[in-house]
Structures are given as C-alpha cells and as structure tokens.
Amino acid sequence: MDAADLIIIGGGPVGLFGAAMARLHGMSSTVIESLPELGGQLYALYPEKPIYDVAGFYGISGKDLALRLIDQAEHFSPRFVLGEAVESITALQEDGLLYEVSTGLSTHRARAILITVGIGAFVPRKLPAQGADRFEGAGVYYLMPPLEHFRDRQVLVVGGGDTALDWTLAIAPKSRHLTLIHRRSQFRGQEESIRLIHESPNITVKTPYELVRIEGDHQIQAVVVKEVSSGAEERWAIDDVVGGLGFLPSLGPVKTWGLNLEGNTIVVDPSSMATNLPGVYAAGDVAQYPGKVKLIATGFGEIGIAIAQIRSYLDPTKHGLPHSTNLKGIPRP
Ligand SMILES: Cc1cc2nc3c(=O)[nH]c(=O)nc-3n(C[C@H](O)[C@H](O)[C@H](O)COP(=O)(O)OP(=O)(O)OC[C@H]3O[C@@H](n4cnc5c(N)ncnc54)[C@H](O)[C@@H]3O)c2cc1C
C-alpha cells in the first residue's frame, strides 16, 4: 500500500486549506471526511449565514466560502475519501513515521497525520419542549433549511448563545416577524450581535422565557412559552421554531487514539500544533491551547504553523515555509 506524506482527518475549512498548503509545500495528502460533502460546519450547519471575519471578504456565505476552499484544494489534487469516518490510527513504526488509518471501510497509510475534525459529528442540542420531536424537520429546525423558507413567516428562535443570535440575524430579514427567547436574562453571545438584534424593528426579544410546548396538527400553529420568574404561560401564534441551543461536541472514536484531551478538544503545543503523539498534529476547532479562539481565521493560521512543522518533521533539512510565489512545480490555476 502506498503511503501519502500526510493524512488529513476532517474535510472542513481548516482541513481543506491544509490540503492546499501541504501540496504547495511538496507534500501529498489524503483527506478523509465522514460526511458525503466537504466543507464542515460551513456547509452542513450554516450554508446561508454571512461570515464577516474571514480576511479578504467583506461578507461571504458559509456555502460560498466552503466552495472556494474546495476549489482551492482541488487545484492541488489531494486524494479525497468522502463518507467515511476515521475510526483508528495505528503507528506502524516506533518513531511514528508511518501510520495506518482505518475507517472501517478502507485503510490508508501516511508518514504524518493532521487532525482537523472540528467539533466532531454535528449533534444539535434538542429543544426540551413537548412536541419538538414531532415537528423536527417540518417546522422545528436545528440545521438551516434555505433562508427563503422563512419568508413572511412568524418565527421563534430559542437560545442565548452565538448559534441562536446568528440564526436570528440571518432569518429576521426574511421573516414577517421573529421572536427570540432565552431562559436567562443575559445572552452569552457576541455583543455586536446582541446590539444589532435589539436595534432590529423586526425582532422581539423576550427573556427570561422558556419554550414549554409546540402545538399543531400537520404543521405548527402555536407555541406555549413560560415567563421564567413568574411561571405564567403565554400562547403565541408561530409558524416555525428554530433550536439555537448549540451543538454537542462529539469526538467519538478520536477519544480512543491515545491523544491528550481537554474535554472534546486535543491539547497541542501552539508553537508547532503537535499533539503528544509523534507525527500527529491538530488544527482548527479541535486544537486546544491557552488563549485559543475558535474561528475560521485562527484555524487557517494554525495550518501555516502545522504545515511548516510537518514539512520539517518529514525532512529535517527544511525549516519554515517559503512564500508561495517562489515555489517550483506547483499546479498553477
Ligand atoms: C452557527 C455557527 C456560526 C459560525 N459563524 C462563524 C463566523 O461567522 N466566523 C468564524 O470564523 N467562525 C464561525 N463559526 C465557527 C466555524 O464554523 C468553525 O471555527 C470552523 O468550521 C472550524 O473549522 P474546522 O475545519 O476546524 O472544523 P469543522 O468545520 O467542524 O470541520 C470538521 C470536519 O471533520 C469531519 N469529521 C469529524 N470527525 C471525523 C472523523 N472521525 N473522520 C473523518 N471526518 C471527521 C466533520 O464531519 C467536519 O466536516 C460558526 C459556527 C457555527 C456553529
């Protein structure tokens, strides 16, 4: 079996950029992604939400950024294995210079590994309200349908963190009216989002409120909510309910690979993005170190560090990364 220089586990934004950078700097890679599509959270969780904090774009939707990253990676011809989750990694040599990676369906070898699995599988926190299960996918949403679905509808968003605030700002301009409820008085999300929400004439904010029940026959007709401090219940006419309670990190098999973990993240040395296993690096949301910020921009920066280190690890005569224009033999667009 041929060994690639690098196996990248996870085809989200950070893994995709890793594949482009690896090949730019002379390393072949195999990208293994558990979903049938590449793009990670951008593609699966918020394809239509605008992103304003990626360098070079005033605003770009999750899907468009994912498509650009896929296009960039494809120019560098990594091997893509889609729809297969990596279950195990095994060091075939003591120095860690040869690993075998297995998905259960296929086996791959490489001289180094870069783990970019983000938050693992995307498991939304479900709404603990009566009726929520019954309408899931048909009135109750955790992953976004096209925003056009909400045109001229009465929408309720539930939650107090960035997921709820992001959905609120994305859906409100399409909706007839949007109500955001949170069971605490204070939101936990970004201050700028909270300010924009309070300024929007199309959004009503109600705190501390809890969703008790969702009512309707074939479609949602109303919700029953409770004002938390008084316990008083109210019934509102609503068409759609969006659960914005965030996602449960679920690293699954990654937890059995012998890595130093902190909760659902992998502890790395931020000067190299190296894990405790020789030849195994991590970047993006899954990588943890003091001061870590889970942003796409951070993940891209971590890729620069990781690729430089992997290159030296595979060939100790090489240090740092030359500028891309000075590289020979790279595929030109
Ligand atoms: C609602 C929401 C809004 C956001 N808005 C912004 C924003 O405006 N700006 C910003 O910078 N960030 C934002 N983020 C965060 C941003 O999406 C993440 O920082 C980014 O996606 C991290 O990229 P990643 O490649 O590390 O991980 P992910 O995007 O999570 O990709 C990891 C990939 O690995 C795959 N995977 C997991 N386990 C395995 C396995 N065992 N084998 C193979 N594949 C596996 C997953 O299926 C996934 O495709 C937002 C997040 C959410 C949820």
Angle, CA of 92, 95 and 96, to the nearest 5°: 50
Question: Tens of pLDDT along 70-91?
Answer: 999 999 888 999 999 999 999 9
pLDDT, mean over the chain: 93
Whether ligand 1 lies within 6 angstroms of the CB of 118 is answered as: yes
Whether ligand 1 lies within 6 angstroms of the CB of 33 is answered as: yes
Contacts for 277 with CB less than 8 Å, ≥ 6 apart? 91, 96, 257, 258, 259
Q: How far is the CA of 121 from the centre of ligand 1 (A)?
A: 10
Between CA 70 and CA 61 the distance in angstroms is 14
Q: Which domains does the chain have, with CATH numbers?
A: 3-122+248-326 (3.50.50.60), 126-245 (3.50.50.60)
Confidence of residue 48 (pLDDT cuts 50, 70, 90): confident
Model confidence at 293: pLDDT above 80: yes
Between CA 284 and CA 272 the distance in angstroms is 13
Whether ligand 1 lies within 6 angstroms of the CB of 265 is answered as: no
Hey, whose CA ends up nearest to atom 27 of ligand 1?
A: 118
Buried b (16+ CB within 10 A) or exposed e, 78-91: bebbeebbbbebeb
- Testing ligand 1's pocket by substitution, the residue of 117, 147, 168 carrying the most ligand atoms inside 8 A of its CB is 117
Nearest to 48 by CA among 124, 139, 147, 142: 147
Bridging pattern class, strands 240-243 and 154-158 = parallel
Please report the atom of ligand 1 found closest to the CA of residue 286.
Answer: 26
Between CA 172 and CA 32 the distance in angstroms is 36
pLDDT at position 122 is 79
Whether ligand 1 lies within 6 angstroms of the CB of 32 is answered as: yes
Whether ligand 1 lies within 6 angstroms of the CB of 9 is answered as: yes
pLDDT at position 256 is 95
pTM: 0.84
